[in-house]
Structure 1
């Protein structure tokens, strides 16, 4: 049985603006498939462009956070927001970056029990406070992160990634975005076994 990837219309690649189509083809060339988030958000090309631009500004910039740590934030936030798409898709990316087939499931379920460092647990604790209780962030929250060596800019990154994926999680849930099947095994089994 084939399930739709969104409750909203998904445009054909040939019908998309050139820049949007080109971005999708670049991702397809690198990953071997087009993630459904691209296809789904292309329903509104201007919003697609804005989302991708902010995503790239946050996740591709030089930072005190590793690529894996950025994905940890996304997976923890997405788990808290019960976003199937982002837990599955970014869980796969996290497994690849950290070379750990178990880590994403641990973080999505309960980061305090995950096989990560105390520094990373502090980072995710702050991230989840931004996600669930941002009105109660106080100076002591910043001090706790600084004690682990996070800079003010790193703390901005943690909060901004959390906030962006709060938006992403809510949109994915709104449109019933379905994860690509490819994400489920990515980082769990060697490529030649898939």
Structure 2
């Protein structure tokens, strides 16, 4: 239920973006650039990071939508549930483990991230651009989780599916066309 009295009780993030389009437009452009532009990390891996961070933050709204989005790009169903339970035993490619440990530490205890955490990612075969992209997705979804939770937004399973498939089929830039005018 939305905490903003001017919004309907069933408001979703798109409702907030329509209500406040001026900050939403550059935010959506950043989403598109970060999650859909060419990267060493696949779209599925970037969406996995978005969902993983959201799961660590217990943000059900973002976790649900980005889990389904990652699965639409080929992530096997159940992978994120396994990751939240234990990165070490989850059914993922070995090079992803240090990357996700880094993202987890950056989410849970950002002031404790060290060069050794980044070195572990680089030693697993990733390059600096992958570290940058992972840190950027992590940062963006920590922001989005705070925005969604701070405004009291929830999404039922039907909306999660709709939103995830919209993101998978059209990306984030498409959402700008759904905003209407700017304030």
TM-score range, shorter chain: 0.7 to 0.9
Structure of higher CA gyration radius = 1
Contact in 2 for aligned 1:68/1:98 (Cα 8 Å): yes
Mean alpha-carbon deviation: is it higher for 95-104 or for 152-161?
Answer: 95-104
**Does 1:106 find its partner at 2:102?**
no
Partner of 2:28: 52
Give the Cα separation in 1 of the matches to 2:84 and 2:29. Answer: 26
Mean alpha-carbon deviation: is it higher for 165-174 or for 52-61?
Answer: 52-61
Mean alpha-carbon deviation: is it higher for 142-151 or for 96-105?
Answer: 96-105
Deviation at 1:108, TM superposition (A): 3.7
- After superposition, the CA RMSD in angstroms is 2.3
Deviation at 1:148, TM superposition (A): 1.5
Q: What is the count of residue pairs matched by the alignment?
A: 160
The 5-angstrom pairing of residues 23-172 of structure 1 reads: 36-172=12-148
Instruction: Evaluate the alpha carbon distance shift between residue 63 and residue 99 of structure 1 in structure 2; reply closer, same or farther with a 3 A threshold.
Output: closer
Give the Cα separation in 1 of the matches to 2:80 and 2:115. Answer: 30
In structure 2, stretches of 5+ residues that fail to align are 166-183
Q: Per chain length, whose mean CA-contact separation is higher, i.e. which structure has more relative contact order (CA < 8 Å, sep 6+)?
A: 2
Q: Secondary structure at the match of 2:81?
A: helix
Instruction: Evaluate the alpha carbon distance shift between residue 142 and residue 123 of structure 1 in structure 2; reply closer, same or farther with a 3 A threshold.
Output: same
**Does 1:7 find its partner at 2:29?**
no
Mean alpha-carbon deviation: is it higher for 119-128 or for 178-187?
Answer: 178-187
Deviation at 1:10, TM superposition (A): 4.1
Please give the per-residue CA displacement for 1:49-71, whole angstroms capped at 9, x wherever unaligned: 12111111211111110111111
Contact in 1 for aligned 2:44/2:75 (Cα 8 Å): no
Q: TM-score normalised to the size of structure 2? A: 0.78
Deviation at 1:156, TM superposition (A): 0.6
Contact in 2 for aligned 1:7/1:175 (Cα 8 Å): yes
